[in-house]
Amino acid sequence: MAHPPAPELTAARTEWAVWSTTAALVVERAERLGEARAIAERVLAEVGAACSRFDAGSELSRVSADPRIERGVEVSPLLASLVATALQAAAETGGSVDPTIGGDLDRWGYDRDIALLGAAPAAAPAAPVTVSVVRREAGWRAVRLDGRVLSIPAGVRLDLGATAKARAADLIAERVSSELDTGVLVSLGGDIATGGATADGGWEVLVQDLPADPAQQVFLPDGAAMATSSTQKRRWLHDGRVHQHILDPAFGTPVVPAWRSVTVAAATCVRANTLSTAAVVRGTAARTWLAEQAAAARLVDLAGRVVTLGAWPDPAVPDTAAAGGRP
């Protein structure tokens, strides 16, 4: 990734709230913005209806409650695709990203939309977690997807949040660029996907998590994606203690952070998010693991120091203060 001058794009931008985060959409052809947002909202509604853990009427909630689910229930093509994406992420990360942690998230108090939980101040430290020394079986290996027939073991609750948001970003970028013939960048929280061709070959993106964290402007080529996993956001109060949303599937407990945030650039947002989430779970071992994946990554430790790996560009000037991507 290079550092060319900021492209002078004749772009138009829109933002709106969705899934307790902010969706941002930028199209190079300004006259296509309304149509592009309509596509984005349709994709988000479809993905939410397919797999929302907090909606009792979502397809995933309904099939999970089906008494036949242990033997197998036929699901829609979209839900099958979302489950397949989650299982692939689990396989690629050796279970560091595991969709079978829904019950664990409930147990730690994340049992409804985070906007409805007792919000915790971003600066408040997460509560220390007592971790069992006994590792659990990899739950994702027991989930079966045969074509569109989904089987979930008794007592297992799926949470596709780690990959579904990133997949939605990829889908929006694909559909907007192909249907409207325009370069497009979509950001869902820290998940960014791009599509189509722009006049300058890509987009300038500000990488920064919280306002006091170190910032870096990078160039994201057309068709590339980026994702940030943060231990400083999506925090809530439960039983008087602060918890954050990234769990270690090996123990079913919130990760004890080694990093404030991890940002990864990749060919798809799903791949970038898979790597960034797994890196947070792996803690201090993440640097070696990401290097083995040949990942372009930016890690910010708890003291605000920045570590770059692979093709990620070094900051032009030293960062002084820790990264979600923001266009």
In a domain, 81, yes or no: yes
| Closest CA relative to residue 122, chosen from 288, 198, 233 | 233
> Does 312 fall in a domain?
yes
Closest to 214 (Cα-Cα) out of 299, 310, 96 = 299
| Closest of 16, 63, 61, 58 to residue 38, by C-alpha | 16
189-210 burial, b at 16+ Cβ within 10 Å, e below that, comes to bbbbbbbbebebebbbbebbbb
Q: What are phi and psi of 3, to 5 degrees?
A: -125, 65
Name the amino acid, one letter, at 18: V
Residue numbers of the domain that contains 167: 18-326
Residue 131: band (very low, low, confident or very high) from pLDDT cuts 50, 70, 90: low
Q: Identify whether 320 is part of a domain.
A: yes
Q: Which amino acid is at 184?
A: V
Tens digit of pLDDT for each residue in 195-206? 999 998 999 999
Q: Is residue 164, in this structure, part of any structural domain at all?
A: yes
CATH code where residue 85 lies: 3.10.520.10
Q: Evaluate whether residue 221 is within a structural domain.
A: yes
| Distance from C-alpha of 193 to C-alpha of 220, rounded to nearest angstrom | 10
Distance CA 286, CA 275 (A): 9
Residues 226 and 247: their CA atoms lie apart, in Å, by 21
**Does residue 321 surpass a pLDDT of 60?**
no
In a domain, 148, yes or no: yes
Tokens encoding 145: 């997807």
| Residue 1 belongs to some domain of the structure | no
Sheet containing 144-146: give its strands across: 73-74, 149-151, 144-146
Mean pLDDT of 229-234: 82
Token pair recorded at residue 202? 């890509």
pLDDT tens-digit readout, 161-193: 889 999 999 999 999 999 999 999 999 988 999
Residue 299: burial class (beta carbons within 10 Å; 0-12, 13-18, 19+): buried
pLDDT tens string 69-116? 999 999 999 999 999 999 999 999 999 999 999 988 888 766 567 666
Among 167, 218, 223, which Cα is nearest to 197's?
Answer: 223
Highest mean pLDDT of the ranges 222-226, 252-256, 323-327: 222-226
**What is the pLDDT of the chain when averaged over all its residues?**
87
- Give the orientation angle of helix 269-282 with respect to helix 77-92, to 10 degrees: 40
pLDDT in tens, 11-48: 899 999 998 889 999 999 999 999 999 999 999 999 99
Smallest Cα–Cα separation from 144: which of 214, 63, 219?
Answer: 63
DSSP state at residue 233: S
pLDDT given at position 103: 87
Percentage, residues of the chain above pLDDT 90: 69
For residues 270 and 260, give the distance between their C-alpha atoms in angstroms, rounded to a whole number: 20
Q: Is residue 13 part of a domain?
A: no
pLDDT of residue 3: 36
Closest among 298, 311, 309 to 267, alpha carbons compared: 311
**What pLDDT band is residue 316 in, cutting at 50, 70 and 90?**
low
Report the domain count for the chain.
1
Cα-trace Rg, the chain:
19
